[in-house]
Structure 1
Amino acid sequence: MAEKQEIIIRYHREGASARKISRDLGLSRKTVSKYIAEYEQALAIQQSHQATADTYLAQPPKYRTGFRHKRRLHEDLQKRIDSYLLQNEEKKRQGLRKQLLLKQDIHQALLKEGYQVGYTTVCNYIRSKVKPSREVFIRQHYEPAHSCEFDWAEVRLQIAGQNRRLYLAVFTACYSNYRFALLFERQDTLAFQASHVAFFAHCGGVFRQMVYDNMRVAVAQFTGPHEREPTLALRQLSSFYHYRYRFCNIARGNEKGHVERSVEVVRRKAFAEKYHFANLQEAQVHLLQTCEQINATYRETKTAQALFAQEKPLLWANPGEMSCYLLETLRVDKQATICYKTNHYSVPDHLVGALLEVKIDAQQLICFYQGKKVATHPRSYLRHNWPDLKPEA
């Protein structure tokens, strides 16, 4: 306001030009000319409005911000954000609702593409396009090494050019929020046990309590309003690793809120942008690397890795790796193959008609005849498949 008054005084009292005033005060010539024109307009109508000129000098400057163009959020950037939103809509139509790009993912992708834009600008634009949904979480307190939560999650990936439905086994430590996840072809008993064996080996110890929802691989049947009978697989795990287990109430996912959130974070961070892989092993490596990056991210003042380092010495000792497999007796057909889950696996041709003991786990089949191993095959999860691999003795 003092600058505006100085401009008027110099122009009317000292007869200085707008150019000279602009140069002396270090202001834009357009700004100086605007103040002079507005004051002269106020003087012109002073006869009908006595206090017009005086009032103008006493008022602070006004700026017309409604006509300004957004410098960062230009048309090209808006179209790029719209393209990401269209990708999300396409994913919804394909059944990939849990692998959508969130605002922070879109912002990071824009930065990688070279756009100079702030996160708030991206959020405001997306909010104007999409109505947000909000969810509330209540923090609880947990003792180190006491409790860990487990859950399954479905994910759809393109493996070697084929659309595949796979399953994530996700673990989250309640105290440190440390996350670990593995990919499996099936959400079955063998995968359930194998995931726990791999997790406890990764941690170098066992948590005192594991928390589950009412999944079929953990709950055999309901024996009362709140009583459940565990499956044989869960009893075997609990007995071997000596941990207690707890089930959530029906439709109460908030009772294992850590892993509920982890499922969303791990799946999105790992497979929202990248979901094409040459093989399952490549996807598995990518998933583990993503978990390491998530655990290295700061949460308030410490990372999940740092907090897990505090509770790791308090874990119960790991007794070793529990064997997780099924035993089947299968007959060799005329084509020198055994059939398991509609898939055929070759064995030596001199065993045609013989009965073989087949040890089946989540990754492979091992065939035995009279106590001697005669063939080993990677397990196929396709239907009516004849693996081309030769039997490995």
Structure 2
Amino acid sequence: MLSMDIIAEIRRRHLVSGESISAIARSLKLSRPTVRKHLHSTAKPVYARQQQPSPKLGEFQVTLQAWLNTEQHLPRAQRRTAQRLFEGLQIEGYRGAYDSVQRFVKQWKSVKNGPTTTQAFVPLVFAPGDACQFDWSHEHVEIDGVPQTIKVAHFRLAYSRQMFVAAYPRETQEMVFDAHNRAFAFFGGVPQRVIYDNLKAVVEAILVGKERRFNRRFMAMANHYLFEPVACTPASGWEKGQIENQVGNVREWLFTPMARFASFAALNDWLALRCRELSQREHPTERSQSIAEHFAREQPLLRAFSATFDGYLEQMLRASSTCLVRVDRNRYSVPAEWAGKAVSVRSTATEVLVVAEGAQIAEHARRFGRDQLICDPWHYLSVLEKKPGALRNGAPFVEWDLPAAIQQVRERLLKQPRGDRAFVELLLVAREVGLDALQVACELALECGVVNGSLVMNELRRLTAPARPVQLELPAQLQLRIEPLADCGRYEQLRSGQYVH
């Protein structure tokens, strides 16, 4: 049933302005019989339908209500949207429309939560290349078979609505740096401004009004990429409403049901691919074009950059007597010559780098568990040279993933007298020539059936011996014209004492 204001507009436009019934029907998206029906209606409608019937949903209402009652006790991030509930009902055999499910869910929520008030906002317009919005969200995924809560960095170009997301185990400053590096590489440039919440990795202090004291290390990144950081008013999410909406959409599109991947690298590769695929959706304000088409116009207006920001957090630590430094409750090894000395540890989103005297002395893949020991066995080789017995029970060597042939030779040598020292001598040579050469030497020794340190060392030396020089061809001027002849008789004269000078 049409409302009285629509009926009044139909009558005014036809009877006063003289518009045709077809023009009014096209303008108001009504059928011509409906327009014709209300041309002579002046009284208030007697009937106004209070509830939309849903005959096809009827038998599924019990199932839908049971799902809603169950999921209301779950965290908000794990509850299904009306669209997901509709898809679930289709699996159960429902053949009705989505609108019926949406109305049922809305009515159920209004009964549970009571009436809500709608807050008014001002629509915002952004120029191409002007602004990008940033935010974090918490999502639930399964990484390498382990369910866990991860942090997802969200970026959204305000003009084109092109988005980028990347997943991390934590929400720390080095993750913020890495996320910006990935996002700007994905966009192919840098916007003029980036809009943030007042997260600690960005803002150190909130001053009067819009004044902020930004983190110095964060400002180093902003100066590197030459963008202006803008911090929102506290508790005013509407100032970056696009990214607030994106968080909910991405949770529905990408993390429901739970995503499962072998590693964060595999997850992030998939997220980047899905961001490109989702850019084919229609633009929210100019529906005749896609997000990708708008981004194609915006991308040339982004500021190009030549190098990514070296986003690490640095701290000075002293290596222990066991050649370890502690970072985030985990221990990482350094070369033995730096035991007991101060070193600089640089933590990125994916690596732990150790620097001393201006040179990098160690590099490890970063771990995010607790009480883990991450050792490079080569760091302890100089200790083994003096204490070869540590080869049997030393933590860096017990779980050393050596090639099969080298492992077999090691096991055999350790059963022989002074075999540990013999194997250490092989490792000292392998440090210079590489494990590949030692592996071949061990394979040759195993083929012979006789395994001892001398035999393997001989094979290793033979494999790594420098190539013999190419025989030189002398020019004709240096060649002897009369070559000396050997005279064995002179040796007999020496023996008989008859040789005369």
Q: Which TM class, normalised by the smaller chain length?
A: 0.7 to 0.9
CA distance in 2, matches of 1:159, 1:79: 35
Q: In the alignment, which of 119, 122, 129 is matched to residue 98 of structure 2?
A: 119
CA distance in 1, matches of 2:199, 2:313: 20
- Residue 346 of structure 2 is matched in structure 1 by 359
Higher relative CO (Cα under 8 Å, sequence separation at least 6) belongs to 1
Give SS of 1:198's match: helix
- Residue 108 of structure 2 is matched in structure 1 by 129
- Residue 71 of structure 2 is matched in structure 1 by 88
- Residue 26 of structure 1 is matched in structure 2 by none
TM-score normalised over the length of structure 1: 0.72
- Residue 367 of structure 2 is matched in structure 1 by 380
Give SS of 1:330's match: strand
Give SS of 1:234's match: helix
Alignment map for 1:332-343 (pairs within 5 Å): 332-343=319-330
| CA drift at 1:79 | 5.2
Residues matched between the structures, number: 320
- 1:100 maps onto 2:79 in alignment: yes
Alignment map for 1:1-393 (pairs within 5 Å): 70=55, 72-73=56-57, 75=59, 77-78=60-61, 80-82=63-65, 84-86=67-69, 88-92=71-75, 97-111=76-90, 115-131=94-110, 138-299=122-283, 300-349=287-336, 351-387=338-374
Query: Alpha carbons of 1:91 and 1:386: their partners in 2 closer, same or farther (altered >3 Å)?
Result: farther
Q: Which amino acid aligns with 2:163?
A: R
Q: Over alpha carbons, which structure has the higher Rg?
A: 2
Q: Which amino acid aligns with 1:366?
A: L
Which deviations, in whole Å up to 9, do the C-alpha atoms of 1:164-216 show, x marking residues without a partner?
23211111111111111111222222111221111111111111111122221
Give SS of 2:234's match: coil
* Richer in strand (by share): 1
Which deviations, in whole Å up to 9, do the C-alpha atoms of 1:21-65 show, x marking residues without a partner?
xxxxxxxxxxxxxxxxxxxxxxxxxxxxxxxxxxxxxxxxxxxxx
Give SS of 1:157's match: strand
What percent identity do the matched residue pairs reach? 25
Query: Alpha carbons of 1:256 and 1:274: their partners in 2 closer, same or farther (altered >3 Å)?
Result: same
| CA drift at 1:362 | 1.1
CA distance in 2, matches of 1:168, 1:365: 21
Q: Which amino acid aligns with 2:64?
A: I
| CA drift at 1:265 | 1.2
CA distance in 2, matches of 1:315, 1:234: 20
Q: Which amino acid aligns with 1:377?
A: H
CA distance in 1, matches of 2:67, 2:289: 32
Give SS of 2:258's match: coil
Q: Which amino acid aligns with 1:367?
A: V
| CA drift at 1:336 | 3.4
Q: Which amino acid aligns with 1:339?
A: R
Task: Tell me if structure 1 keeps the 8 A contact 2:321–2:339.
Answer: yes
Which deviations, in whole Å up to 9, do the C-alpha atoms of 1:325-368 show, x marking residues without a partner?
12333333243322112111234455433433322211111224
Give SS of 1:170's match: strand
Which deviations, in whole Å up to 9, do the C-alpha atoms of 1:139-185 show, x marking residues without a partner?
32211111111112222333334342321111111111111111122
Query: Alpha carbons of 1:246 and 1:135: their partners in 2 closer, same or farther (altered >3 Å)?
Result: same
Task: Tell me if structure 2 keeps the 8 A contact 1:270–1:286.
Answer: no
Task: Tell me if structure 2 keeps the 8 A contact 1:100–1:268.
Answer: no
Query: Alpha carbons of 1:377 and 1:129: their partners in 2 closer, same or farther (altered >3 Å)?
Result: same
* Consecutive unaligned residues in structure 1, runs of 5 or more: 1-67
Task: Tell me if structure 1 keeps the 8 A contact 2:354–2:361.
Answer: yes
CA distance in 2, matches of 1:389, 1:109: 50
| CA drift at 1:323 | 0.8
Task: Tell me if structure 2 keeps the 8 A contact 1:171–1:180.
Answer: yes
Give SS of 1:144's match: coil
* Consecutive unaligned residues in structure 2, runs of 5 or more: 1-52, 380-430, 432-501
Query: Alpha carbons of 1:83 and 1:159: their partners in 2 closer, same or farther (altered >3 Å)?
Result: farther
Query: Alpha carbons of 1:334 and 1:106: their partners in 2 closer, same or farther (altered >3 Å)?
Result: same
Query: Alpha carbons of 1:214 and 1:357: their partners in 2 closer, same or farther (altered >3 Å)?
Result: closer
Q: Which amino acid aligns with 2:342?
A: L
TM-score normalised over the length of structure 2: 0.58
Query: Alpha carbons of 1:79 and 1:387: their partners in 2 closer, same or farther (altered >3 Å)?
Result: farther
RMSD after superposition: 2.9
Q: Which moved more, 1:225-234 or 1:83-92?
A: 83-92
